[in-house]
Amino acid sequence: MVTMSTPDVSSSPAVRLARTVAVTSGKGGVGKTFFSANLAAALTRQGMRVLVLDADLGLANLDVVLNLYPKITLHDVFTGKAELEEAILAAPGGFSVLLAGSGLVEYSRLTPEVREQLHTIFEAVKPKFDVIIIDTGAGISDVVLYAVSMAHEVVVVATPEPTSMTDAYATIKVLAAQQAREQLNLVVNQVSRPGDGRGICNQLQQVVERFVQLPSGGAPKLNFLGDIPQDNSVREAVQKRQLLLELHPGSPAAQGVVQVATRLLSRAAVSN
C-alpha cells in the first residue's frame, strides 16, 4: 500500500481542488503524450499550477518526451520505497510531473491494490494544483478506464486516419456506457489543413448520435477543442526531446495547442 500523508482538507472548506482532465486515445501513435506535455506547458503559461500524472502504467514514455531521468517513480511510491512528495518532479515548461515506470507487467491490469494506490495518490495531489492532467494509456483496458474515471473532463485525441477515428469512436462508446459521460472533448491532431478538425468532429458526432446511447437516454456531446496541424517542428521537438512550446513557440502546431488550452480553461470557467 501507499504510505504517505494525505493533506487534511476537512477543516478547510475554502480549499480548491484541482480541475482534473484525462487525456486519452483509442489507439497509440496519435501524439497523446506529446500533446499532454505541451498542453501542461500552455496552461502553465496562463498562470495555472499544473501536474501531469503519467497513468500509462507499465508503458510510460512521458519521461522520454520531457528528457527526464527520474530516480523515483510512481512504482517506488506504490511499493513504499519513497514518499509521494519525492516523486513529484519539476519539468521543463514550469509544470510538475508524476512519472510511471516502464516495462512493469504488474500494472498491466487493474488489481484492487493498483486501484487503491492510484486513488490515494490522486486524492493527495488534488489540493496542491489548479489543473491535473492524467495522461492515460491508449485503448480501453481497465487501467485506462479507471484512470479516466478519476477526471472531471475527458479529452480524446485522434488523427484523421480512419483507424484512429474508429478507435476514438470505440472509446467514446465505452465511456458513454460505463461512465455515463454526457460530454467529451475532442482534439484532432496532425490535420492537413486548419479547420479540418471541426469537420471530423461533426462527422464523428453524427455517428455517435446514431449508434451510442447513454444509460439515461440520448447521446454524448462532443465538444471540439481544436485541431493541431501537421508540422515539421513537431518531429524536431520529438527528436530533441523538447517541448514544442519552448523549441518553436510560434509554430502552427504550438499555436494549436495554445488555442486548445485557452478553450479548455474557458470551458472550466463556464462549468464552475
For the chain, 272 residues long, give each residue's pLDDT as a single digit of tens: 444 333 343 333 445 678 999 999 998 999 999 999 999 999 999 999 999 999 988 777 899 999 999 999 988 898 889 999 999 999 999 999 999 876 565 666 778 888 998 999 999 999 999 999 999 989 999 989 999 999 999 999 999 999 999 999 999 999 999 999 999 999 999 999 988 999 999 999 999 999 999 999 999 999 999 999 999 999 999 999 999 999 999 999 999 999 999 999 987 655 55
Residue 79: its pLDDT value, please?
86
Full strand arrangement of the beta sheet holding 19-25: 88-90, 96-98, 50-54, 131-138, 19-25, 153-158, 183-191, 221-229
Residue 75: its pLDDT value, please?
87
b/e 171-202 (16+ beta carbons within 10 angstroms → b): bbbbbbeebebeebbbbbbbbeeeeebeebbe
- The pTM assigned to this predicted structure is 0.91
50/261 Cα distance (integer angstroms): 12
H/E segment holding residue 136: strand 131-138
Residue 13: its pLDDT value, please?
40
- Listed in sequence order, the residues at least 6 apart from 142 whose beta carbon sits closer than 8 Å to its beta carbon are 109, 110
> What structural domains and CATH numbers belong to the chain?
19-271 (3.40.50.300)
213/85 Cα distance (integer angstroms): 42
